[in-house]
Structure formats: structure tokens, C-alpha cells
Structure 1
Amino acid sequence: MNRRNFCKALAAVAAMAATAPASAAVMTGNCGRRCRLTVVRRMWAEDLQARYLDDPEAGPCPLLNQGQSWLIDGPVDGNMPPKGMCGRAWAAIAPRLAEAAGCAATADGGPRLLSCGDPTRAVIFRVDYDRV
């Protein structure tokens, strides 16, 4: 297996592993809290992409744009991303989003940052929870 295919396989395994610990109990309910998920940054590791990917000039994530946002209202389902959301990014962040919404938010109720699992073109999301 060449280096590029190995890295692709590794990224796929990492994305699956990120969703593995998410049990049905974690994915249910959100203590009545809504949240807004907003793309705050799209990162691009040009050097790593050129070295390891089959398409070395793919650039940053083509699916999500800075400022794009979604209102998450109701139970978080790790299998059903909101409309317009990248399925891989959703699979990576949904378990952490559900855990935080399950009344484990920061003590001051402030926003959280979550990211997708793509190592060469990561997307950083800000999560703002409604106060209960």
C-alpha cells in the first residue's frame, strides 16, 4: 500500500473510531437545549495534502464555508446530518455535540469549539448553546 492510500485509510478509520463510542444513550435528548453550530475556520495543510493525497491540489474543504451555520433543535442523531452539513464532519462532531448538550456544557455556559477529523483540511465549528 502506498503512502497516500495508507493515509486515506487511516483517516477513514479515525472518522469511524470517532463515532464508535457514541452509544444510543448519548445520542438521545439534549436537556431541552438548542444550539447553533457555526463554521469559524476552514484550515488547509497544503504541504501535507501535496505529499500524501491522490489529489495534491484539492485545497480546503469544498463542502463547508466560513460563517455557514445550523440550528440544532432536538435530539442529536449522529447518522443524520443537518441539511448542507458534510456527513464525515457530522459523524466526527455529533457524539461530542450530544455529550456537551447533555448538560455537560462549560460552567459559564460559554461556547465550545469542535472540529471535523480531516487532517489536511480541517473545519473548526463553534457551538453556542441556548441558556435553559
Structure 2
Amino acid sequence: MVRLSVAVAGIVLLLGVVALVRASRMNRRSIERDGLSRFRDALRGRYPELLLAHVYGYLAERHGTQQPHVHVSPSDDLRRVYGLVDLDLEDAVLVIADRAGARLPRAKELDALKTGVRSVEDLLRFLEPYVRPDVVRE
């Protein structure tokens, strides 16, 4: 009887550990997939949802993944974290604007990138006027 009780207790303990490990893995995957949601929550109301989704998607691709589980912070340095410098940054702006169906910035407007766009939030601030509904795509 005692042996049976010890065996049952061991099995219950083992099942509990397995359940805990599985729950931990599921929670970690859920948190990883939540990157886009966290990015949107950090900036909600300050920029259009469409812009947030496209900037996040581009930076997640740039980070080397196609799934929305990369942590993107508004304060991330575009040069250091994503390797976006000079022409790469111009390309990023043009690709994001095109994907969002926005008016593409002109060459003269892109010159402002060199001095004013360093962080993810700077990028959003730069792109925001181009995705407003009142700006007609040319």
C-alpha cells in the first residue's frame, strides 16, 4: 500500500512538472507573438494603426523574421539595431510608404532623414504625414 502511494505521488509529481514546462513554453510563445501588440500599445493614438503595422512589419523583416514576435521599441536606434543607414533608411521609408498605400516622399523630402531620423519613433514621425487620409497618393 505504501509503495503504491509513493508510486502514485511520483507520477502526479512528474505530470505536474511536465504540465508546468508545457505551460511555460506556451506562455513564452504567446509573449513572443505579442510583439506587434506591444508595439501598437506603446504608440496607440499617436500614429495611425496602418502605419504602426507596416513599420513593425518592415522592422521585423529587417530583424530576420517573418512572424510578428520581434520586440520593437519606439526608442530603438535604427542604425544600431536594424542597420538602417543612409540609402537603406531611404529605401525603408519608400518601401513602408508604398506598402501602406501612402504618398511616396520626394527626393528633397528624403534629405530630412539624414538629420532627423535616428529612432523608430523618429521614423514614425517622419512617415505619419504621408499616410494621412488627406494626402493623396501620386
- The TM-score normalised by the length of structure 2 is 0.29
Where relative contact order (Cα < 8 A, 6+ residues apart) is larger, the structure is 1
Of Structure 1 and Structure 2, the greater strand share is in 1
Rg: which structure is higher? 2
Of Structure 1 and Structure 2, the greater helix share is in 2
